[in-house]
Structure formats: structure tokens, C-alpha cells
Amino acid sequence: MVVHPTKPVLYVGVRPEFRVIAYTIGADGCLTEAGQAALPGSPTHLSTDHAGNALFTAFYHDGLISVTPLDAQGSPQDVSQVISGLDGCHSTNISNDDSLLFAPALKQDRVCAFRWSHEHQLTEPASAEIATVAGAGPAIWRFIRRPVCLSGE
């Protein structure tokens, strides 16, 4: 689950019919379904860019990440991009300046980095991964001002 960065919208990844459901959060805390979109696999982790233009999803068992555009109200649209080859992808984590998305691939002991463009597409930068110690199992990447925290399993 993740909350939109600027709107009262909650996103929930669901199974077994793989999709994301958006709920508006009322002033009283009640949730009202506001839209949904199909996902290409079993969702593990959801995040958004800081502008609230896109939802990123990690798929641990499928080894994928996806990009789901969000409309002006924050409703999810059809998936616009899927990137595979990320065995055990545990999370999707956008940099503080919205320029890079980091995707830890737990089963490959690496963190993959993708540029997030103004056209709302992910592309691999020249140095596209950070290797970790064998068996580290990188899982969650967090930005805390300047330092970065990476936890493993």
C-alpha cells in the first residue's frame, strides 16, 4: 500500500486478480473506491514518484517492475512499462529529486538503478546496478536526506 504524495488517495495491490485499486480517503477516514488497473503479476511493493504522476510496482515472484500512470485525480491507468530480469525484486524506491528509481533484486544480490524521465519512462543509466555482498539479499532502499539506507534479509 502507498498513499499519493499530494492527494488523499490510497493505492492497494491485490491478489489473486492482480491489480491496483485506488481509494479516496474521506475527511472521516472512510475509503471510497476511485479506480483500478490490471497489473502484470503478483504485486509486492508499491511506491509513487514525488510529483504523483506514476505508481511503481515491484513483483518479487515475477522478477518485474512496472509503471502505472496516474491521472489528474490520482486514478491508475493502464500499465505503460514493464521491466523484467529482476529476480526477487523487493521494492521500488524513487530518489529525492525524482530522477532515479532503485529496485533491489534480492535473489541477485544487486540493486538496479533506472533513470525516471520527464516522459514518464524508466531507462537504465550507464552504471545500472550496485552489487552487494553475496547472500546480502537487498530488499528495502530508503532515502533519508543525504545518506541512503539499504536493508537486507
Predicted pLDDT of residue 106: 79
Predicted pLDDT of residue 113: 87
Predicted pLDDT of residue 78: 98
Predicted pLDDT of residue 13: 98
Domain with 72 in it: what CATH number?
Answer: 2.130.10.10
Q: What is the pTM of this model?
A: 0.86
Predicted pLDDT of residue 26: 98
Q: Count of domains in the chain?
A: 1
Go through the chain and tell me how many residues it has: 153
How many Å apart are CA 81 and CA 89, to the nearest integer? 16
| CA angle in degrees (0–180, nearest 5) for 69-104-144 | 85
Task: Give the pLDDT means over successive 10-residue stretches in the chain (153 positions).
Answer: 98 97 98 98 96 96 97 98 92 90 84 88 72 58 54 54
Predicted pLDDT of residue 35: 98
Expressed as residue numbers, the domain containing 135 is 2-152
Predicted pLDDT of residue 55: 98
CB 151 within 8 A of CB 135: no
How many Å apart are CA 19 and CA 27, to the nearest integer? 26
Q: Provide the 10 A C-beta neighbour count for residue 19.
A: 15
Q: What is the DSSP letter of 97?
A: T
